[in-house]
Amino acid sequence: MILNRKYQNAVVGKNIYSLMLAIGVHRNDQSVLMLDDENIGIGHNFNSFIGEMEYQLLKLWGEKWNIECLKKIEDFSVNSHVIGIFNDVQILGGRSPYKNLREIFRKKPGLFPKDFFVKFSKIDRDQFDQSMMGYFKRMSSLFFYSHRVEEIGVHSFKEIPQKIVAEWIQFLLANKNSLEVKEFLYSLSGGFQGILCPNFNALDFYYLPLKTLCPGYYLDASSLEKSLLELFVSEGGHLKNTEIMNWEFEGGRPKYIQLNSFEGVIEACEVHYLGRIYDGPPLLLRRPEKKYGSFEINLKLSELSCAPSISDTPFVAHICERQWLGSEFPFLQVVCLPSEDKLRVTQSYQLKLGQNPKLRADDLIPKIKNSLSTLMSDKEVERFAFSDNWSVGHEHWSGVRGRLAINRVIAREFNAPTSGRELSNFSYLGPFSSPSLGPISILMEVKNLAH
């Protein structure tokens, strides 16, 4: 493909969200170049495991924007489990709303009012599931038709059809300073929002518990990306797989992007950046003071023997111990992908200037082994050469809680690294934008940018 010298839009980072944005912008009669730099990934948290609200939002998006692969999102997804492990207590979720709520109550009764069991025992499970699934679908429509992300607030979540769920959320709010409540929400926040921060706002007390009631899905992101990319290119969009070597800004606006390819320099009037933070000059995102990176260890599932009830089903496990809260290594995630014969372990660590991720990884191996013992036997854990399989991951977490809107971006020049100006015509979407609704926030921002 021969590239143009100038584009109205450059979309940086290839993933589901950036492709949806590129398709939407291009359909508004604007030229679009998608830059696929393998160093810029959005991570697995936002790209693989979704809940019912995200599932219905993607489906509705396909219907309204006439994107066939999103209309048939069921062809790219399978049901999955979501496992929460809190101080060695394992909660199996991702099933029906009724089963999910019952499981949380069985394993963590301290999170519920004293009269919960009496009320819960009188519930008709089919009617409960039907009403909650209808509620999740209505919420997806609300997300899609809202004009601005900031329109979504606590009021948006209050019309919960099941009184017992509303009472549970009010109990959590009334006990927001409880350590048990905080560690519960902290782990959910790491998995669902991409945020590792022990301070919660009122919206979190609605969104996170409701997410635990949603059925879970594993999204075949690579196949969905392929279908979206084929559509983008077939409609006249341009794609380039290359590394970005440099940026140039003029008057606080993007001027050109230097590529590591024979095209050299490409001009772009608008730049949309979706993915891992670019850590070199002259571009620097104003990001939270506390932030977390990750490293991954990929093991072969065929060499393990996980619990029979989950070994044939994709699952994601969010592991959080009480003593980890506020530490440099607060969160561990385990992903099981039977179709890929893979068990992926992702460990968070606080990003600090000048640190060596390899040294941090070696220090954390004992901690990871101990955490994995909640999913498999100690004997099985000891069989694996963890230090030979680890790599720096694309997963990132924000250490602060922000607004639903995207963060602002700052450019810094090579010859003046301590100065800079806020950019216009440059948008960033990703973990460090502290999205309170996780992937939903990103999707809402994508829709607004595309129009």
pLDDT per residue as tens digits for the range 58-82: 999 999 999 999 999 999 999 999 9
Convert the pLDDT of each residue in 130-145 to its tens digit: 999 999 999 999 999 9
Convert the pLDDT of each residue in 174-211 to its tens digit: 999 999 999 999 999 999 988 898 889 889 999 999 99
Specify the pLDDT at position 281: 46
Q: How confident is the model at residue 405 (pLDDT cuts 50, 70, 90)?
A: very low
Specify the pLDDT at position 167: 96
Convert the pLDDT of each residue in 100-133 to its tens digit: 999 999 999 999 999 999 999 999 999 999 999 9
Q: What are phi and psi of 330, to 5 degrees?
A: -85, -10
Determine the average pLDDT of the residues in 350-362: 69
CA-to-CA separations, 263 to 96, 238, 267, 282, in angstroms, rounded:
52, 13, 11, 21
Q: Return the top range by mean pLDDT from 33-47, 226-240, 360-374.
A: 226-240
Specify the pLDDT at position 245: 86
Q: How confident is the model at residue 425 (pLDDT cuts 50, 70, 90)?
A: confident
Specify the pLDDT at position 373: 77
Report the distance separating Cα 22 and Cα 269, nearest Å.
14
Helix axes 125-145, 439-450, angle to 10 degrees: 30
Give the chain's mean pLDDT. Answer: 85
Report the distance separating Cα 17 and Cα 320, nearest Å.
28
| β-strand partners of 421 | 411
Report the distance separating Cα 370 and Cα 367, nearest Å.
5
With 60 as the cut, is the pLDDT of residue 416 above it? no
Report the distance separating Cα 435 and Cα 405, nearest Å.
7
